[in-house]
Amino acid sequence: MKKVLLAACLLVATGASTLRAEDGYDLWLRYRLITDAPLLARYKAAVTGLVVEGDSPTLRAARDEMTRGLKGLFGADVAADAKVARDGDVIIGTAASSKIISGLPLAKELKALGKEGYLIRAVTIGGKKVIVVAGNEDVGALYGSFALLRQMQTHGSLASISLTSSPKIQVRMLDHWDNLDRSVERGYAGKSLWEWSELPGSISNRYRDYARANASIGINAAALTNVNANVKMLTPEYIANVAAIAGELRPYGMKVFLSAKFSAPIDLGGLKTADPLDADVKAFWARKADEIYAAIPDFGGFLVKANSEGQPGPQDYKRSHAEGANMFADALAPHNGLVIWRAFVYGGNTAPDRVKQAYDEFKPLDGQFKSNVVVQVKNGPLDFQPREPFSPLFGAMPKTPLFMEFQVTKEYLGQDTHLVYLGAEFEEVLRADTYAKGKGSTVAKVIEGSVDPYRITGIAVIATVGTDTNWTGSQFNQANWYAYGRMAWDPMAKSSSVADEWIRMTFSNDPRVVAGIEHIMMVSREAVVNYMTPLGLVHIMATGHHYGPGPWVRQGRPDQTPYYYHRADSLGMGFDRTKTGTNGVEQYFPEVRDRYASRKTVPDSVLLFFHRVGWTEKLASGRTMWDELVYRYNMGVDSVRSMQKGWDKVESAIDAERFGEVKSFLAIQEKEARWWRDAALSYYQTFSKLPIPAQYEQPAHPLTYYQTIRCPQNRNKPRCDAVP
């Protein structure tokens, strides 16, 4: 493993646990022996056998998982595959695969749960008490199996268990930004999982474990490679490799998508153009689609980043995004494939305001996309900041299905080391009200297709999964993968409940441990906002690697510099997006627009995103803007310190290896929270000329010290030098 963690070896004797060391590989699927003896006895009495009726790769996956899970939780094998229902059997299958299930009066209820839904119920059959796990399709039965295991992993009751569940969103996807050389753009968890040079002949065990993890939280699709696409991906050699990966993911209900490079007709097809209206270009893509589907019959489709950050696209030929997307749509339609066209367009001319660009380019195209095109929109109008308002595109394209795009790799949020639970962010964004069709038109409802009737619904996340033993670069980044899956399944799930589940499965069911860790997780998002970008600041990270603070950076393309966003001067700071500025607020529906546009109603959390505010202007708290800034930066540091204390308290309940890793990362986070605070405040102070009130810690170094700290541009591990 890449991280050399001293803290694990330095544990002080007091409170250190004697639990078996864990490296995090098992994620939330640890299935450790249940140590609560009465509970274990109850479970063992309720579950004594396993009947998986039917045979398919997916039902076999369900059986394998149940066998593995029960063996771990119970510490003993459970008799599998009896033919008849006995007392204590868990019966898994579908109405089609299972005689027992088809014999139960469940048909109507089951049908209402759709293709991927499941039902878990304690029933009595011929006097025998059994638990039925039923889906309409095999994958539903698999999801139900994971849910039953989760029930036991979180110490829920099995007595008269009765659960039904089905996903609110159809496509629940991970987007990998993996390159073919196995580097990962914005990846902080080791190398890419995909072993291109070993494929297709040799298949890593990790593909299956990756699929298991995803299926356990309902993720059903993955785009394997970077949207900054490599055209080699579409060559026969790579298509064969992808087919091999798809074969591993398929039993777990996952479809594979690929990033398509717009210029492929030129790069691979030897054509002179990639103009989407050109007949040869269309024919090239139709042939390519046929070739891919011949190898991967359930291929999901293409994910495309076009005319953004240097990627080729239809605008190179004076064609619109719709014309570009529709060309792919035609090629994929005969195979029922999907085009996922990204709205993160960040092209040459972003004047007068970069954050307005996606809306300005896409809103006018609503209604022009073919029926198998969807547009994928980042959660905020800028770029995965610690906090942004939701993107105004949500609700604004009634005729075009919009997919949500989140990012769990935490490019701008401390990457691998900082503990930031993003469930809180997902909840904030998903529950935000767009007012598109009046009150209650939340972002969640927009992407669920219930504000406007979308023909297809979806959500994606930039994944953080790599070859690190713990998969995600840190133990706590696993929680974001987990929370994403659970909230993609049910966008109204409460992030605290999701955290609760994850903690129980990942660390412990001890109520004090659960409460302690949940507290850490639930304060962590606001902590990072406060020590990096309080009061609606955005993008003040150093250029390139986006790791540490760099609010002073002014060189380079203006809309890539922090200065562009904060605009600090002797009078104040903030970006005026009201009528007196770029009028970005105009992109929101009137209720939201007015709320953000008025200094009286704009929440402090996004204040400087929409307004320029004088240093000594009073805010809602009664403090001046400057004092509020100082207060919040300090609050951020204090929160990290309270997270450290909280973590120390659970030491005896966590194995030393994971405890030590988290502890050492929290120490880095505390140090770097101070770095952020001291660097940012020292810099703003050159404009405000106001003192940091004496009750607060003063910056440890002069501003020039922070300005000379250098982090490697592609920091795949070495830490930034000389951080205080």
Q: Which residues bind ligand GCW (CB under 6 A)?
A: 177, 185-186, 227-228, 305, 309, 344, 383-384, 411
Residue 21 in contact with residue 657, Cβ under 8 Å?
yes
DSSP secondary structure code for residue 505 in this structure: H
Neighbouring residues of 37: CB distance < 8 A, sequence distance ≥ 6:
none
Amino acid making up residue 662: V
What is the SS3 string spanning 405-450? EEECCCCCCCCCCCCCCCHHHHHHHHHCECCECECCCEHHHHHHCC
CB-wise, 183 or 228, nearer to ligand GCW?
228
CB of 307 vs ligand GCW, minimal distance in Å: 11
CB of 622 vs ligand GCW, minimal distance in Å: 37
CB of 631 vs ligand GCW, minimal distance in Å: 30
CB of 169 vs ligand GCW, minimal distance in Å: 21
CA separation, residue 407 to residues 195, 479, 606 (Å): 23, 13, 20
Pair of tokens at residue 391:
């993107």
Q: Which of 116, 137, 175, 383 is catalytic?
A: 383
CB-wise, 66 or 538, nearer to ligand GCW?
538
The pairs formed by 507-513 with CB atoms below 8 angstroms and a separation of 24 or more are: 507/650, 507/653, 507/654, 507/658, 508/650, 508/653, 508/654, 509/36, 509/154, 509/155, 510/653, 512/650, 512/653, 513/650, 513/653, 513/654
CB-wise, 383 or 452, nearer to ligand GCW?
383
CB-wise, 420 or 592, nearer to ligand GCW?
420
CB-wise, 56 or 415, nearer to ligand GCW?
415
Neighbouring residues of 83: CB distance < 8 A, sequence distance ≥ 6:
51
Longest dimension (CA), the chain: 82
The Cβ of residue 522 has, within 10 Å, a number of other Cβ atoms equal to 15
Neighbouring residues of 60: CB distance < 8 A, sequence distance ≥ 6:
52, 251
Q: Does the annotation mark 383 as catalytic?
A: yes
CB-wise, 66 or 459, nearer to ligand GCW?
459
CB-wise, 346 or 675, nearer to ligand GCW?
346
| Cα torsion angle, 415, 418, 423, 429, sign | negative
The Cβ of residue 467 has, within 10 Å, a number of other Cβ atoms equal to 19
CB-wise, 91 or 258, nearer to ligand GCW?
258
CB of 116 vs ligand GCW, minimal distance in Å: 28
Which of 533, 535, 528, 530 has the alpha carbon at shortest distance from 624?
Answer: 535
DSSP for 613-662 reads: EETT-B-TTSSBHHHHHHHHHHHHHHHHHHHHHHHHHTGGGS-HHHHHHH
Neighbouring residues of 542: CB distance < 8 A, sequence distance ≥ 6:
548, 549, 550, 553, 711
CB-wise, 65 or 416, nearer to ligand GCW?
416
DSSP secondary structure code for residue 560 in this structure: G
Which of 184, 140, 128 has the alpha carbon at shortest distance from 166?
Answer: 140
| Calpha distance 597→607 (Å, rounded) | 10
Which of 331, 502, 330, 477 has the alpha carbon at shortest distance from 411?
Answer: 477
CB-wise, 305 or 335, nearer to ligand GCW?
305
Beta strands in 228-306, from DSSP E residues, in sequence order: 255-259, 301-304
CB of 560 vs ligand GCW, minimal distance in Å: 10
What is the SS3 string spanning 129-176? EEEEEEECCHHHHHHHHHHHHHHHHCCCCCCCCEEEECCCCCEEEEEC
CB of 310 vs ligand GCW, minimal distance in Å: 10
CB of 412 vs ligand GCW, minimal distance in Å: 8
Q: Which of 65, 137, 248, 411 is catalytic?
A: 411
| Calpha distance 472→613 (Å, rounded) | 39
Q: Which of 309, 360, 569, 721 is catalytic?
A: 309
CB of 706 vs ligand GCW, minimal distance in Å: 22
CA separation, residue 628 to residues 413, 534, 535, 551, 642 (Å): 21, 9, 8, 18, 20
CB-wise, 43 or 547, nearer to ligand GCW?
547
Catalytic residues: 309, 383, 411
